[in-house]
Amino acid sequence: MTDRSIAPADKRTRILDAAIRVFAEHGYHGARVGDIAEDAGVAHGLLYHYFASKDDVLRTIFLENWGALIARFRAVEAADEPAPEKLEGIAKILLRTWRNDPALVTVMVREVARSQQLQDRVDEVREAFAIVQRVIEEGQAAGDFRADLDPRLASWIFYGGLEEVLTGWVLGQLPDSEEDVGQAERVAVEIVFRGLAV
């Protein structure tokens, strides 16, 4: 396929998908714009039609994928389920991203978390913790969770623990088969629920 035979939206998506693969394999600093264009099957200069720089590509990967993750968290929060089931749903969403797209998780953990992107986007990152905090507060109000625990701190411990499991998979320090991912979900939920349970 030539550049002209690919629709503009598809070209942009192909470039972002290629960037995720290239950043995951070579790291952000080891990746060249030419590597991304080659992987995407587009001309080198076309990348600059959609993105101002390699940094802009990484920023877009973060914003679009983080936005999709937050939308899924919000859907769980809005569901007509008890708070414990909502926390379990959030844990499953976050941990299963590894099985669904390990390259994306690698980029988000290894590249975005250490970049200026994160410092510039604190409000977007904070929303994940805020959703978990509201779910915990909902559980406290319903009598499902202990009222004597600080829900903000509990939300950071819950989310931070899940993020560390993802980091362990990215760094190859934890086994990550389908069975291991399921076990991580169960252990994370069990630990948090035992700590939060009335």
CATH number, domain with residue 25: 1.10.10.60
Residue among 30, 41, 43, 163 at smallest CA distance from 94: 163
Six token digits for residue 88: 């379990």
| Mean pLDDT computed over 47-57 | 93
Radius of gyration of the CA atoms of the chain, in A: 19
| Mean pLDDT computed over 145-150 | 94
Asked whether residue 7 falls in the same domain as residue 59, the answer is no
Range of the domain at 2: 1-51
Q: 20-47: string of b/e by CB count within 10 Å (b at 16+)?
A: bbbbbeeebeebebebbbebbebeeebb
Asked whether residue 123 falls in the same domain as residue 46, the answer is no
pLDDT computed for residue 116 by the predictor: 66
Asked whether residue 133 falls in the same domain as residue 180, the answer is yes
Asked whether residue 2 falls in the same domain as residue 97, the answer is no
Question: Three-state DSSP class for 145?
Answer: strand
pLDDT band at 83 (very low <50, low <70, confident <90, very high): very high
pLDDT computed for residue 82 by the predictor: 96
| Mean pLDDT computed over 110-139 | 82
Asked whether residue 47 falls in the same domain as residue 65, the answer is no
Asked whether residue 21 falls in the same domain as residue 45, the answer is yes
Asked whether residue 156 falls in the same domain as residue 68, the answer is yes
Q: What's the CA gap between 38 and 34, in Å, rounded?
A: 6
Asked whether residue 27 falls in the same domain as residue 57, the answer is no
Structural domains of the chain, count: 2
Contact 197, 191 (CB under 8 A): no
